[in-house]
């Protein structure tokens, strides 16, 4: 994989309106998330519809509460490893919400200003697939090569940046396996 003008190649592009300009242009943090819509169900177009403000609140009882949210991620990695990109990496996606990151001695907030958000189709208890780990490792390697301020120590979870609000990608995410896959690409 490679990055061309902020877009991951060969990801499928589906532009989200839920984005704006990064204040400084900085890309220095990668935040991993998980999502399934409806909760616990995989497949379908509900995630894409949520990130493009087209989710039908009548399609499922859970959707009535979230249909009005204006959220996005830079990238979604589906269970089969397909990558769908909603926001170019150089733009600010609306994914982290109220969050904070300890950057050495400095505590930083407003993480969307400098973080890339990747959603893994899944939940916190169902193991992620090998295809997802491989796609995530490839996309991460491309970002590490393109954005010098982003390092392997600056890859974290939504749970770590919003610990009282979020717990994703959860205990089902195998950090050691992900780092092993990333190491295979980077060596």
Determine the pLDDT at residue 67. 87
Averages of pLDDT over runs of 10 residues in the chain (187 residues) are: 97 98 96 97 97 97 94 98 98 96 90 98 96 98 97 96 92 97 88
Euclidean distance between CA atoms 134 and 80, whole angstroms? 10
Determine the pLDDT at residue 173. 98
Euclidean distance between CA atoms 143 and 158, whole angstroms? 18
How open is the CA angle 69-23-66, to the nearest 5 degrees? Answer: 5
Determine the pLDDT at residue 187. 63
Q: Which among 26, 41, 107, 119 is annotated as catalytic?
A: 119
Is 0.75 surpassed by the pTM of this model? Answer: yes
User: Which token pair is 70?
Assistant: 């204006």
Determine the pLDDT at residue 89. 98
Count of structural domains, the chain:
1
For residue 54, what is the domain's CATH number?
3.40.80.10
Q: Is 181 annotated as catalytic?
A: no
Determine the pLDDT at residue 103. 86
Range of the domain at 62: 2-186
């Amino acid at each position: 994989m490679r990055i061309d003008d902020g877009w991951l190649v060969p990801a499928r592009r589906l532009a989200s309106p839920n984005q704006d300009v990064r204040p400084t242009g900085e890309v220095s943090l990668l935040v991993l998330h998980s999502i399934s819509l409806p909760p616990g169900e995989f497949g379908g177009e509900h995630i894409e519809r949520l990130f493009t403000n087209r989710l039908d609140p009548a399609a499922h009882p859970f959707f009535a509460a979230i249909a009005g949210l204006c959220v996005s991620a830079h990238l979604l990695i589906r269970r089969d490893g397909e990558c769908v990109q909603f926001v170019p990496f150089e733009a600010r996606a609306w994914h982290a919400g109220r969050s904070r990151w300890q950057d050495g001695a400095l505590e930083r907030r407003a993480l969307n200003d400098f973080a890339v958000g990747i959603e893994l189709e899944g939940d916190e208890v169902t193991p992620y697939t090998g295809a997802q780990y491989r796609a995530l490792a490839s996309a991460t390697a491309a970002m590490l090569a393109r954005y010098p301020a982003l390092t392997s120590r600056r890859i974290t979870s939504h749970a770590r940046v919003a610990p009282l609000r979020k717990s994703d990608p959860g205990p089902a995410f195998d950090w050691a396996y992900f780092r092993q896959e990333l190491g295979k690409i980077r060596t």
